[in-house]
Chains A and B, each alone.
Chain A
């Protein structure tokens, strides 16, 4: 049965080879590009990145965005998946509507919110009608950094909460109803059932959702460009700028290395923070 034992390897081989060529090799190349300078190997490119006028802003903006949007999305998705459990009618259509943003590209989401938040947009129309402002007003310029941040936060929240929601709902579906019923037999309130039964059992799903979402949030790019243009630099938009506008692949690679390291560190933190506790099965 030699063929039988070889078969699984033959089946995974193509995907393995592909990922080696299009994931592993470019990963190594990125690091190589980041460290190669005109005079040999060194950290010159990183120095140039640190000297970039927008570097500090892009780091601050990226972290600010991720640290605000991801927890908000987790809370919202938890609330949504708990609400869904009590929905008796129209579950199918509600699920569809709630997950529509999952299929929407970050560029399109940025354009949607641009339409709403621009000078003569729909938000300003409402504010005008209720008498808060007296005419068209700009929110998306560097003179209104707070409003610009909120706008990008809103767009990112609108677009990407659905993925957290989907992973959590899949997790909720795996929890036997009996657990909660048992808890309520022993007199647990709704909040206690959620806090002591559902939430701990959801830990693996929460972990997965957080990792997926955090890594993607560090990559946020098109939504930021669509809403904020150059007024709101983030790490990935800087990488794009250095690669495309400045044609400096080395500094672009430095930004890529930074984003990769930050994503890996975030994943590690989430894995450790939400690891199964002693005495629990994962």
Chain B
């Protein structure tokens, strides 16, 4: 009885793994299988010949390289901004009992009920006026609005997990407040902060709507791919999809230990 239950569980687990992985395998097959795979019928489920022809064809579409580079720039900028703005607030929530702390936390939580990406529509108008429309900086600002509430909550739960006694001990030994933060809290918080940064990067890297609305010529990779949907041949689109997926898969691998401890708890 116990035996058959285990078999059921294991086959269930494996089926869900397959459900996640097989589609990625298939798009990879289309992405690197060469143009012959794309138009083959019936489709082979194994690569006939591995060529990176599709990939290079995709990259040769004018501006794809530049778009990818821009996507990286936007994501890095978004990462830096969300940490610079979010981590201090997270620290304040974790360490100080101050009037308005609950109100602030509630406000951060409330942003969740809003479709924040949609706000790119009026921002397009303001950005034109400010001269940051169609720039890396403009898109990064918008993406920071998406990633910031998350960064605040995650860093707050991160700092709560670091005993304040350690910090107080540093004060006793003559460290200033900021000094104790830098020498004691920071080293302990670095792994979690890195995970937060990676999340901010992924949020920005994957975002489509705001990036499409806020750019015209200087498109990010997602915005560029969106316009290619109706223009480029299928194999290029799949190559682009693969290009979008690969970094994310790696990122999730690196932060998998923090996924539940940080995101799960911070989402409550």
Binding site for B on A (CB under 8 A): 5, 7-9, 11-12, 14-16, 18-19, 22-23, 25-27, 29-30, 32-33, 80, 83, 86-87, 92, 94-108, 111-116, 118, 120-122, 124-125, 128-129, 135-136, 158, 166-167, 169-171, 173, 204-205, 208-209, 211-212, 215, 218-219, 221-222, 225-226, 229, 236, 239-240, 243-244, 249, 252-253, 256, 259-260, 263-264, 267
Neighbour of A256 across the interface among B21, B121, B141, CB < 8 A: B121
* Interface segment, one of B60-68, B162-170, B183-191, B259-267: B259-267
CA distance A14 to B88 in the complex (A): 9
Contact B40 A107 (CB under 8 A): no
Please name all residues of chain B whose beta carbon is closer than 8 Å to the beta carbon of A108 when the two chains form the complex.
Answer: 206, 241, 244-245, 248
Contact B207 A29 (CB under 8 A): no
Q: What total of A-B pairs shows CB separation below 8 Å?
A: 281
CA distance A18 to B108 in the complex (A): 12
CA distance A221 to B91 in the complex (A): 35
Q: A19-B148, A215-B114, A253-B121 are in contact. Are A11 and B205 (CB under 8 A)?
A: no
**Number of B positions contacting A (CB below 8 A):** 94
Q: Which of B107-131 contact A (CB under 8 A)?
A: 107-108, 111-126
Contact B119 A27 (CB under 8 A): yes
Minimum C-beta distance from A20 to chain B (A): 10
Please name all residues of chain B whose beta carbon is closer than 8 Å to the beta carbon of A101 when the two chains form the complex.
Answer: 20
CA distance A135 to B41 in the complex (A): 9
Neighbour of B222 across the interface among A80, A105, A167, CB < 8 A: A105
Please name all residues of chain A whose beta carbon is closer than 8 Å to the beta carbon of B19 when the two chains form the complex.
Answer: 158
Minimum C-beta distance from A25 to chain B (A): 8
Binding site for A on B (CB under 8 A): 9, 12-13, 16-17, 19-21, 23-24, 26-27, 30, 38-43, 45, 84-86, 88-89, 91-93, 95-96, 98, 100-101, 104, 107-108, 111-126, 141-142, 144-145, 148-149, 152, 177, 202, 205-209, 212-213, 222, 225-226, 229-230, 234, 237-238, 240-241, 244-245, 248-249, 251-253, 256, 259-261, 263-265, 267-268
Contact A219 B241 (CB under 8 A): no
| Known A135-B41, A208-B268; 9 more pairs at CB < 8 Å | A11-B89, A29-B126, A30-B122, A96-B253, A105-B208, A112-B27, A170-B267, A212-B112, A218-B115
Most-contacted residue by chain B among A8, A12, A87, A105 (CB, 10 A): A12
Please name all residues of chain B whose beta carbon is closer than 8 Å to the beta carbon of A173 when the two chains form the complex.
Answer: 260, 264
Contact A19 B111 (CB under 8 A): yes
Contact B126 A229 (CB under 8 A): no
Minimum C-beta distance from B126 to chain A (A): 7
Contact B114 A263 (CB under 8 A): yes
Q: What's the dominant secondary structure at chain A's contact region?
A: helix
Contact B264 A94 (CB under 8 A): no
Please name all residues of chain B whose beta carbon is closer than 8 Å to the beta carbon of A135 when the two chains form the complex.
Answer: 41
Q: A7-B177, A15-B152, A105-B206 are in contact. Are A122 and B9 (CB under 8 A)?
A: no
Contact A18 B226 (CB under 8 A): no
CA distance A19 to B253 in the complex (A): 30
Q: A26-B126, A97-B20, A105-B208 are in contact. Are A244 and B213 (CB under 8 A)?
A: yes
Most-contacted residue by chain A among B89, B145, B222 (CB, 10 A): B89
Contact B104 A104 (CB under 8 A): no
CA distance A27 to B117 in the complex (A): 11
Please name all residues of chain B whose beta carbon is closer than 8 Å to the beta carbon of A18 when the two chains form the complex.
Answer: 85, 144-145, 148
Minimum C-beta distance from A258 to chain B (A): 10
Minimum C-beta distance from B125 to chain A (A): 6
